[in-house]
Amino acid sequence: MRANLLDLDVDGLTAWFAQQGEKPFRARQVLRWMHRFGSDDFEQMTDVAKSLRAKLAASAEIRGLVPLRDNLAGDGTRKWLLGVGHEAGGNNAVETVFIPEANRGTLCISSQVGCALECAFCSTGKQGFNRNLTTAEIIGQLWHANRMLGAVKQPGVGDSGERVISNVVLMGMGEPLANYDNVVAALKLMLDDNAYGLSRRRVTVSTAGMVPAIDRLRQDCPVALAVSLHAPTDALRDELVPLNRKYPLAELMAACRRYLELAPRDFITFEYVLLAGINDSDADARALLALTRSLPCKFNLIPFNPFPGSDFRRPAAERVRRFQEILMAADVVATVRKTRGDDIDAACGQLAGRVLDKSRRRTSAVGVPERKIVSLTQEVLS
């Protein structure tokens, strides 16, 4: 079976070439052709010896993901449905979203086929979980998007000009830190100057709060960190984000403080999906301030994006504005995420892809009954 070279970061590719009896610089050459130039054809690699090109064609391949669907929203957001693995033409597929803005282009990529964390308000979690993506399948989303957007570099041409994809966020399907080794290998490719050469500040990993993996990432590959918070108390967060039962808020806040010691940014981003009548009250905002008082942070407020089967509702614009004002009055940066791509189900929380569920935990409806959550909130905050 031929090796898929997209599966290897620079260290892995160097080791692979050593096994073939080749010099380390060959890894850097091929890395540039694959990632900077977007090539999947060894014959195009003109600075690689012809004999080695033939050898590579016999023993290796550069195999990207299988494009199944390409949707373009009215606001310019673009979403790809990409088949993964041997079942690419069958059951499993992930979604990748490109969000163009005036001063940057952000690619939101997936790390798992489905998700096992079962966050109550997330469309991906409703589909259940199948498996982790490989390194090739994670970095392959960036590789595919670069090619589709005409963002690959040309051999012999410098890096002048703005990047089409300037930022990458691991905020798509799945919990990135539950697929730690493959995600870190992909991160290293994003940062490598022979591959994509992105700044650590422009690559963000989002996590629901896997505390031991946050500490590992701090040591192995510190990039920008976003934490999916969504509740100011353990009682409420236990219901919305079940992972909190294993790593409660005190442990999570401590891990965030440790992460800042080596982080490329001097703050943690907290993502907070606003759910009408659940976590969007003035009291919730004040509890958030108390929780994060000693932690440099900013809040990314996300009005809930509805999807079929969900019991939750989006708050009124005035309620969102009031929540934001309370945070900002305490000199905390709080932005409201603009909904992008919701006409193609590409907005935050709407990614679902296509998942052959192996978890057997899929439920017929997503969401915790509102009366239960409201009573918990009132009990804790009273």
Distance of CA 196 to the CA centre of its chain: 17
Please indicate whether residue 91 or residue 212 has the higher confidence score (pLDDT): 212
Helix (H, G, I), strand (E, B) or coil at 147: helix
Q: What is the DSSP string of 168-229?
A: EEE-SSS-GGGGHHHHHHHHHHHH-TTTT---GGGEEEEES--HHHHHHHHHH---EEEEE-
Q: Which of 351, 273, 363, 343 is nearest to 113 (CA)?
A: 351
What is the maximum span of the chain, computed from C-alpha positions, in angstroms? Answer: 75
Q: Is 284 left (phi over 0), alpha (psi -120 to 50) or beta?
A: alpha
Is residue 348 flagged as an active site residue? yes
* DSSP per position, 291-309: HTTTS-EEEEEEE----TT
* Residue 220, C-beta contacts closer than 8 angstroms, at least 6 positions apart: 184
Active-site entry in 95, 118, 239, 271: 95
Question: Which of 51-60, 71-80, 208-217, 373-382 shows the lowest per-residue confidence on average (mean pLDDT)?
Answer: 373-382
Q: Which domains does the chain have, with CATH numbers?
A: 3-61 (1.10.150.530), 66-381 (3.20.20.70)
Of 202, 234, 200, give the one whose Cα is nearest residue 217.
Answer: 200
Across 209-221, average pLDDT: 98
Do 56 and 20 contact (CB within 8 A), yes or no? no
Q: What are phi and psi of 237, to 5 degrees?
A: -70, -30
Q: Can you give 7-29 as a three-state secondary structure string?
A: HCCHHHHHHHHHHCCCCCHHHHH
By the 10 Å C-beta count (0-12 exposed, 13-18 middle, 19+ buried), 31 is classed as buried
Question: Is a pLDDT exceeding 80 seen at residue 359?
Answer: no
Average pLDDT, the chain: 87
At residue 214, the pLDDT reads: 98
Q: Which of 108, 115, 221, 348 is flagged as catalytic?
A: 348
| pLDDT digits 0-9 by tens, 129-175 | 889 999 999 999 999 999 999 877 777 555 555 789 999 999 999 99
pLDDT at 361 over 90: no
pLDDT band at 382 (very low <50, low <70, confident <90, very high): very low
Q: Is the pLDDT of residue 352 over 60?
A: no
What does pTM read for this prediction? Answer: 0.87
Q: pLDDT digit string (tens) for 74-131? A: 888 999 999 987 544 457 889 999 999 989 999 999 999 988 998 988 877 777 888 9
- Tokens 């703050």 correspond to 267
67's CB contacts (< 8 A; 6+ apart) are 80, 81, 82, 83, 144
Cβ contact 293:330 at 8 Å: no
When pLDDT is averaged across residues 234-244 and rounded to a whole number, the result is 97
Q: Is the pLDDT of residue 379 over 50?
A: no
Give the residue among 6, 30, 34 at the shortest CA–CA distance from 17.
Answer: 30
Q: How far is CA 344 from the centre of its chain?
A: 19
DSSP state of 155: T
Burial of 141 (0-12, 13-18, 19+ CB in 10 A): buried
Contact 319, 280 (CB under 8 A): yes
Nearest-5° angle of CA 95, CA 99, CA 100?
Answer: 150
- Interatomic CA distance for residues 67 and 65, integer angstroms: 6
